[in-house]
Amino acid sequence: MNAWNAILMGCSAGGLTALQHVLAELDPDIPQPILVCCHTGSADVALLCELLARHSRLPVEEARERAPVRGGVVHVAPSGYHLLVEPTLRFALSVDDKVAYSRPSIDVMFESATDAFQGHLVAVLMTGANADGAEGLAYVRRHHGYAVVQDPASAEASAMPQAGLDIAGADACVPLNAIAGTLNRLCLP
């Protein structure tokens, strides 16, 4: 058994395409829960879930208040709420102030999940037009999680992965087409 209990993914501008690419290549036997925070600007995340499900070999669903975090499922943060993971490994939703101009915030999700999973997770920061996720990625790394950052040169919007590298560094900095393979190597039993 590997040491990673969860996979986290954060993205913004260009995120739909990036997530579709990664989820299409993830092995369907990945046992970890996958938590996704993508800034969409939409009031409803149902369409994002539907578009991701068309490409994913794992089930995709919107994370809901008090629902359990389930392995082998892609859980997507709902629009307008911060997604938190409680110590009981259930989701909590918050309407606290925006962080890095965002709600849901990648930083909030990364930090909450790191605490809940006691650092045993892999966090992925991909394309995006702001710095949300960089501080959360640093938090993941300080708590012995593994940080994967999309090579900014392969990102539709390079600001987010570049901020991640500048603030947190990375255990792996790879182009978009290598992220799924990296996760498969790290996370398959």
pLDDT in tens, 131-164: 999 999 999 999 999 999 999 999 999 999 999 9
Name the amino acid, one letter, at 127.
T
Tell me the longest C-alpha to C-alpha distance in the chain: 39
Domain coordinates in residue numbering, the chain: 6-187
The residue written with tokens 């398959």 in the block is 188
C-alpha to C-alpha distance for 63 and 92, rounded to whole angstroms: 9
C-alpha to C-alpha distance for 24 and 57, rounded to whole angstroms: 6
pLDDT tens digits for range 110-122: 999 999 999 899 9
Residue 12 is a catalytic residue = yes
C-alpha to C-alpha distance for 32 and 93, rounded to whole angstroms: 21
CA angle 98, 101, 104 (to 5 degrees): 55
Residue 39 is a catalytic residue = yes
Name the amino acid, one letter, at 130.
N
C-alpha to C-alpha distance for 76 and 37, rounded to whole angstroms: 6
The residue annotated as part of the active site, out of 112, 132, 151, 158, is 132
The residue annotated as part of the active site, out of 12, 56, 154, 158, is 12
Predicted TM-score (pTM) of the model is 0.96
Domain 6-187 in this protein, CATH class? alpha beta
Cβ-in-10-Å burial (0-12, 13-18, 19+) of 185 comes to: exposed
Instruction: Report CA 151 to chain centroid distance, whole Å.
Output: 16
The mean pLDDT of 165-185, rounded to a whole number, is: 98
pLDDT tens digits for range 29-56: 999 999 999 997 777 899 999 999 999 9
Q: Which residues of 86-122 are buried (b: 16+ CB within 10 A; e: fewer)?
A: eeeebbbbeeeeebbebbbbbbbbbbbbbebbebbbb
